[in-house]
């Protein structure tokens, strides 16, 4: 049985969960926002560090994303109603991978401008991330109207920037 077949064969929880999908450039503030919410977080960057101790190893990416998928599903199966996926999710193709009947996707777009992300990287002496920020900002695809239809009562992504923050969910994962 393939990994995809195994993943699809896993049982579903008795309710539909909420997968909060962070969307934004590196150093935009996605993790800062996510940490303030108190929900379990699945972070591919942390998986990479745990798996091979480096920011990015191309050959390991399929394993990183398989682990992330299993972690999200396991958290819902462990009765968490809300889980945060802390990744850039900067293209529709990347976001489409996370469509699943077990959960609705709620997009939180951290729309920090690229120049601010680059400044933050410079302050943190992280020159390695600068070309990645530049490349991702060019390829950025915001969530589409079709993607947003999963939340019938929410017609636009939640936009977060460094000056204002929106918390659409209470501590039970219920929209306020």
Which pair of structure tokens corresponds to residue 14?
A: 């008795």
- Dihedral through CA 48, CA 52, CA 58, CA 60, nearest 10? -80
pLDDT single digits (tens) 37-53: 999 999 999 999 999 99
- Can you tell me the distance from the alpha carbon of 21 to that of 88, in angstroms, rounded to the nearest whole number? 9
Q: What pLDDT is recorded for position 14?
A: 60
- Using DSSP bridges, classify how beta strands 82-85 and 17-23 pair: parallel, antiparallel or unpaired: parallel
Q: Is the pLDDT of residue 81 over 70?
A: yes
**Angstrom distance (rounded) from CA 159 to CA 110:** 6
Domain spanning 3-160: which superfamily? P-loop containing nucleotide triphosphate hydrolases (3.40.50.300)
Distance CA 8, CA 2 (A): 10
12-24 tens-digit pLDDT: 656 689 999 999 9
Cα–Cα dist 78/85, whole Å: 16
The pTM of this model reads 0.80
- pLDDT digits 0-9 by tens, 54-79: 999 999 999 999 999 999 999 999 99
Q: Which two tokens stand for residue 27?
A: 């150093």
Question: What is the pLDDT at residue 4?
Answer: 63
**CA separation, residue 55 to residues 44, 118, 128 (Å):** 10, 17, 10
What token pair was written down for 86? 């802390």
Contact 168, 175 (CB under 8 A): yes
CA atoms within 13 A on the CB side of 127: 0
The secondary structure element, H or E, covering residue 23 is strand 17-23
C-alpha to C-alpha distance for 112 and 159, rounded to whole angstroms? 10
């Amino acid at each position: 049985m393939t990994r995809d077949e195994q993943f699809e064969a896993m049982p579903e929880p008795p309710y539909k969960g909420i997968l909060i999908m962070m969307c934004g450039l590196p150093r935009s503030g996605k993790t800062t926002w996510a940490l303030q919410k108190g929900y379990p977080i699945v972070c591919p960057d942390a998986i990479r560090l745990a798996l091979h101790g480096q920011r990015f190893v191309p050959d390991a990416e399929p394993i990183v994303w398989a682990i992330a998928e299993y972690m999200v599903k396991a958290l819902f199966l462990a009765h968490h109603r809300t889980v945060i996926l802390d990744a850039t999710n900067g293209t529709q193709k990347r976001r489409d991978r996370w469509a699943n009947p077990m959960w609705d996707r709620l997009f939180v777009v951290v729309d920090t401008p690229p120049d601010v992300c680059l400044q933050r990287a410079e302050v943190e002496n992280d020159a390695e991330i600068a070309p990645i920020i530049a490349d991702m900002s060019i390829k950025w695809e915001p969530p589409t109207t079709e993607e947003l239809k999963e939340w019938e009562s929410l017609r636009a992504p939640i936009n977060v920037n460094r000056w204002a923050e929106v918390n659409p969910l209470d501590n039970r994962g219920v929209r306020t």
